[in-house]
Structure 1
Amino acid sequence: MIEIVQTGPFNTIQDLGRPGYRDIGVSASGAMDPLAVRIGNILLGNPESAAAIEVQTFPFKLRFAVDADFVVTGAESRPRLTGRTLSPWCTHRAAKGDVLEIEQPRRLARAYIMVAGGFDVPLLMGSRSTTLRGGFGGNCGRPLTAGDTLPIAAADEALPLPKGGISVIEPEVALRDLFLEPIDGELSVRAIVAGEHELYGADADRFWSQAWRISSQSDRTGYRLSGEPIKPGVPVEMRSHGVVPGVVQVPPGGEPIIQMSDANTAGGYPKIAGVIESDLWRLGQARIGSRVRFVRATHAEARAIEQAVTRYVDDVRRTAAMVKRALGVIG
C-alpha cells in the first residue's frame, strides 16, 4: 500500500483506458501519455494495462507502506526517494517508509508512477482509469488527495528485478528520427484530413500553416487552440456524430478543439483533421500555453510510424524479459 502525502488537483489513477463503451456514452479515458505507462509496466513485469498514477500538478509525494519496486516515466520530473535523486525510466526498489517526491518537470506536462503489481483499485468496465466528468473509476472517481491510501496488487515473483534496476532509453530519444523536431518551440504533430475539411476552403490552408496555442481552457477532455479563427465557406449545421481522441473539431468561433483521452463520445462540430494515434502521446505531454503546428500526413505514413513504435515497444519487452531470465538462471 502507498499513502498520498502531497498532491495537487487533477492527479488521478489511469491505465490504457476502457474502449468499447462509447456507444453508451462512456469515454475511454486512460493515460494522456499511454506509451509512458506501457513502457513503465513492461519494465516492472506488469501487464501493460496495469494502473498507474498520472501526475500533472506538482509537487507530488507518496509514502510506501510496504517494500515495493516502482518506476517513474513521462516528463523529466527529477524523482527523489527519501532525498536520493533517481533516474527516470528505470526500475527502483523502495523500502517501507520511503517517500517518493516528484518535482515540477523541466519540460513536458505529465509524469507517471507505476509499482510492481499495479495499483489495486476496482476494475470497472475492464479498466481502472478515472473518468472525472462521470465521477467513476480509479480512486472513487475523483482526483487523489493527501491522506488517500492505494493498495498494491501482488506482483509476479517468477522473474525478479535486478537490484540495480532495469532502464530504457525513453521514447522521445529512441524514436527521435520518427518524430518532427520542435521548431522555435512549436510542437509539430501529424494529422490526416477529416470529413469536413473541404468546407473550409482557403481557411483550411490556414489551419495547416499557422501555429496554434494550447489555451488555458484545455484539459484531459480536449485541447482548445487559440489562433486566427477559421470559418467554413458557408454556414453548416450537422447532426451529432461519434468522435474519438485525436479528432480536431471546429466550433462556430473558429478555434479548433483536439479531442484528448477523456474525449466526448459524440459531437456536432465539423471535423477538419485527425491527429495520428502515434503522435497523441506527444500531444499529451504538451503544456498549457505551448504552440502546436499541424503537418499533413497520409494513412500510409501513419501506419509506418505506428509499426516503428510497435517495434520499439517489442524491443523493450524482449530486453526486459531477457534480463529477468538471466537473473533467474544466474541467481
Structure 2
Amino acid sequence: MIEILTTGLPNTVQDLGRPGHLALGVSHGGAMDGRALAIANLLLGNDVSAAGIEVALHPFRLRAHVDTAVAVTGADCTVSIGDRPCPPWWATTIRAGEMLAIEAPRTGARSCIAFAGGLDLPAVMGSRATDVKGGFGGLAGRGLVRGDRLALNPAACALPAGGLGAALEERRGAADGLTSAIELRFLPAAEFDAFTPQARAAFIGGDWSVTNDANRMGYRLSGATLALVSPLELLSHGIVPGTVQVPPSGQPIIQLADANTCGGYPKIATVIEADLWRLAQAPVGARLRFSPTSTAAATEALRAQARWQEAFVTARSLALGYR
C-alpha cells in the first residue's frame, strides 16, 4: 500500500494504454511518455505495461506502508527517499514509513513512477490507465488527491545493493526544450498538399512554441499562421496521437494520448510514434521543430526502440548476475 501525500489532479495512474478501441470512441490513453514507464517497469522486473503513476504536476510525494521497490524515470528531477537522494532513472528499495519525494523538473515535464509488481487496480477494457474524459480506469477515473491509498500487487524484486539505473543521456538532452528546439519527425498527413507552399515551408522551417493550452488531450502551438490554398470543409474523420490538425486560426494542435478519436480540422502532419515521448517531455514554452521523414524511417525508428528495450532487459539480467 502507498499513500499519496502531495499531488495535483493532472497526476494519474497510467499503464501503456488500451489500444484497439478507437472505433468505439475510446482513446488509446496510457502514459504520455510510454518509453519512460516501460523502462521504470523493466528496472523492477515488471511487465512493461504494469500500472504506475504519471506525474505532470510537481512536487509530488507519497509514503510507502510496506517494504517494496520503486523506480522513477522521465523528467530530470531531484528525487529522494527519506533523506537519501536518488540518481535519475533509478530503481531502489523503499521501506515502510519512508517518503518518496519528486521535485519540480530541471528539464522535461513528466515523471513516471513504477512499483514492484505494479499497482493493484481493476482493468477496464484491458487497461488500468486513467481516462479522465471518460471517467473510468485508474482510481475511479480521476486524478490523484491527497490521502489516496493504492494497493500493490505482491512481487519479489531483485536489485543490486544501492539500486539499479538506466543510462539514457540522449533522452535527457532531447527533453530540454528550453535551450534548444525539440526535433520531431513527421509524415505528411492527408491534407498536407491543401496548405499553401508558404504554409508548408513555415511548418517545416519554423520554430513552434507549446502554449499554456496543453494537456494529455493535446498541445496548441504558437507560430506562423498556416493557410489553406482554398477553404476546405471536411467530415469528421479518425485521428490518432501525433496527428497535427490546423483549425481556422491557423495555429496547429497536436493530438496526444487522450485525444478525441475523430475530428474535422485539416491535417497537415502526423508526428511519428517513436517521437511521441519527446512531446510528453515538452513543457509549456518549449520550442518544437518539425522534420519530414519516410514511412520506412518511421518503422525503423520503432524497431530500433524495440531493439534497445531488448538490450536493456539483457543488461539488467547481467547486472543481477543472471546468464
Q: TM-score, normalised by structure 1?
A: 0.93
Q: In structure 2, what is the Cα distance between the partners aligned to 1:191 and 1:255? A: 17
Q: Alpha-carbon deviations, 1:256-312, whole Å to 9, x = none?
A: 111111121001111110101111101110001111111111112212222222211
Q: In structure 2, what is the Cα distance between the partners aligned to 1:118 and 1:56? A: 19
Q: In structure 1, what is the Cα distance between the partners aligned to 2:19 and 2:90? A: 29
**Does the 8 A contact of 1:2 with 1:65 survive in 2?**
yes
Cα RMSD of the aligned pairs, angstroms, is 1.9
Where does structure 2 lack aligned partners over 5 or more consecutive residues?
none
SS across alignment from 1:41: helix
Task: Select which of 309, 314, 318 maps to 2:305.
Answer: 309
Q: In structure 1, what is the Cα distance between the partners aligned to 2:178 and 2:88? A: 26
SS across alignment from 1:317: helix
User: What is the CA-CA distance between 1:184 and the residue it aligns to?
Assistant: 5.2
Mapped pair 1:86 → 2:75? no
Q: Alpha-carbon deviations, 1:220-262, whole Å to 9, x = none?
A: 0011111121111110000111110011111111111111111
Structure 1 pair 81–308 and aligned structure 2 pair: CA distance change class (3 A): same
More strand by share: 2
**Counterpart residue number, 2:139:** 139
Structure 1 pair 63–275 and aligned structure 2 pair: CA distance change class (3 A): same
Q: In structure 1, what is the Cα distance between the partners aligned to 2:58 and 2:167? A: 24
**Counterpart residue number, 2:275:** 279
**Counterpart residue number, 2:193:** 198
**Does the 8 A contact of 1:31 with 1:37 survive in 2?**
yes
User: What is the CA-CA distance between 1:180 and the residue it aligns to?
Assistant: 11
SS across alignment from 1:191: strand
Q: In structure 2, what is the Cα distance between the partners aligned to 1:12 and 1:133? A: 12
Amino acid at match of 1:290: A
Q: In structure 2, what is the Cα distance between the partners aligned to 1:173 and 1:110? A: 13
**Does the 8 A contact of 2:108 with 2:176 survive in 1?**
no
Identity %: 44
Mapped pair 1:41 → 2:41? yes
Where does structure 1 lack aligned partners over 5 or more consecutive residues?
none
User: What is the CA-CA distance between 1:213 and the residue it aligns to?
Assistant: 0.9
**Does the 8 A contact of 1:120 with 1:150 survive in 2?**
yes
User: What is the CA-CA distance between 1:325 and the residue it aligns to?
Assistant: 5.2
Amino acid at match of 2:195: Y
Q: In structure 2, what is the Cα distance between the partners aligned to 1:54 and 1:13? A: 6
**Does the 8 A contact of 1:181 with 1:188 survive in 2?**
no
**Does the 8 A contact of 2:220 with 2:253 survive in 1?**
yes
**Does the 8 A contact of 1:180 with 1:188 survive in 2?**
no
Q: In structure 1, what is the Cα distance between the partners aligned to 2:70 and 2:303? A: 28
Q: TM-score, normalised by structure 2?
A: 0.95
**Does the 8 A contact of 1:250 with 1:256 survive in 2?**
yes
Task: Select which of 158, 164, 167 maps to 2:165.
Answer: 167
**Does the 8 A contact of 2:176 with 2:282 survive in 1?**
no
Mapped pair 1:154 → 2:154? yes
**Does the 8 A contact of 2:7 with 2:60 survive in 1?**
yes
SS across alignment from 1:36: helix
**Counterpart residue number, 2:219:** 223
**Counterpart residue number, 2:74:** 74
User: What is the CA-CA distance between 1:65 and the residue it aligns to?
Assistant: 0.2
